[in-house]
Amino acid sequence: MPSAFINNWINETQNNIDYWYNNFTLTPNVFSITPLPAAPVINPNILNHNLTSCCPDPNFPQISFEHFPEPYYGNPDDSIEKLTVVLFYNPGPHNFSQSILNHAANSFHDNYIINGSNYFNLSSNLNFVNNTINGFWIPKNNQLLNLFSCMDFINNNYKPLFMDLIPWHSNNFNGLNFSRFILPNTLIEFKNNVLLPAILNANNSVVSRFLNSIHNSNNKIVFFAVGAKYSNNNYLNSIGFNDITPNIPNHNNHILKGNTLVVGNNSRLRVWKINSNLLIKNNDNLEDLLHKEIILINLWTTNVGMNIPSNICPTINHIFNNI
């Protein structure tokens, strides 16, 4: 059974998806974001509404509410051991197979109904449309396996959990407005809807277990985020993470430029750390996270969105041995 926190998060996510599913085609005007420079206003029933309100456009949202949201990929039950957990930034472009208006066989809508109109079931069964499986899940899973290729813990019986900062789709997404992102309610939502579900699942992962075995420890949790904006746009710093990249000893597989580890021509990494007690203050549902060292490895490929860098396993192994 999922922990109480994860169970509540799954149910709240489903409630928001239900609201969208039941109302978008009838009242699409409800699904709108105030443009800049106006204060952010978006219906609180919309999935990740505070984070989503950080995606304004001068005339219309850069995200599409016509297409099924994808907040996570895989099974987020934190009692099931994962390979690891990876945060992405934005789910990227959409096509008609993901439209709520498309009820054809093998559309997202058709798969959603087959899975009892339940996103947890659809995601846990990996019953996504072909472009999500072939264009995202399979290549990202292969990239992840490449990331750990020089280590001996890979086992195909374990699946990763992928999560998105923004659960909606966009063909022209340009990033979040930082002045909206750092509003207190948005940071709370970032913590509760993205970081804590990821950390709870990463606590029960093969990669965290491997990291603890290296350090003869049981209090380390490691997970990953893909995309330079997590580091360079101060999203992690805003929530209380500390950049420990300069503390990683030198290694012949990479060089340190500023606060970034550079591997080859286009692979980049930064390493962030936070004490779990800073994230779980006054929450009785998170005792399992008390006194944990939480390490987030942010990695990206320059000029390529949502790409897990390839052939950098020696650097990852070196980081694991020095955090």
**What is the reported pLDDT for 20?**
98
The pLDDT assigned to 121 comes to 98
Delimit the domains of the chain by residue range: 4-320
pLDDT at 272 over 70: yes
pLDDT on residue 282: 67
Question: pLDDT band at residue 278, thresholds of 50, 70 and 90?
Answer: confident
Counted residue by residue, the chain has a size of: 323
Give Cα 309 distance to the centre of its chain.
Answer: 16
Q: Whole-angstrom Cα distance, residue 290 to residue 284?
A: 10
User: Does the pLDDT of residue 2 top 90, yes or no?
Assistant: no
- Nearest alpha carbon to residue 269 among 233, 308, 237: 308
pLDDT confidence of 90, banded at 50, 70, 90?
confident
Task: Please report which residue ranges of the chain form alpha helices under DSSP H.
Answer: 4-23, 49-52, 108-114, 119-124, 130-132, 138-147, 178-181, 184-190, 196-202, 206-215, 229-232, 235-239, 276-279, 313-320
- pLDDT band at residue 71 under the 50/70/90 scheme: very high
Which CA distances in Å does 206 have to 153, 194, 222, 224, 261? Answer: 7, 20, 10, 13, 24
Peptide bond into 69 cis (omega under 30): no
**Low-confidence winner among 55-59, 220-224, 305-309, 313-317 (lowest mean pLDDT):** 55-59
How many C-alpha atoms does 131 have within 13 Å on its Cβ side?
Answer: 12
- pLDDT at 191 > cutoff 90: yes
pLDDT: is 101 or 93 the higher one? 101
The pLDDT of residue 284: 62
Looking at residue 56, what is its pLDDT?
A: 84
pLDDT exceeds cutoff 90 at 175: no
For the segment 121-148, the average pLDDT, to the nearest whole number, is: 96
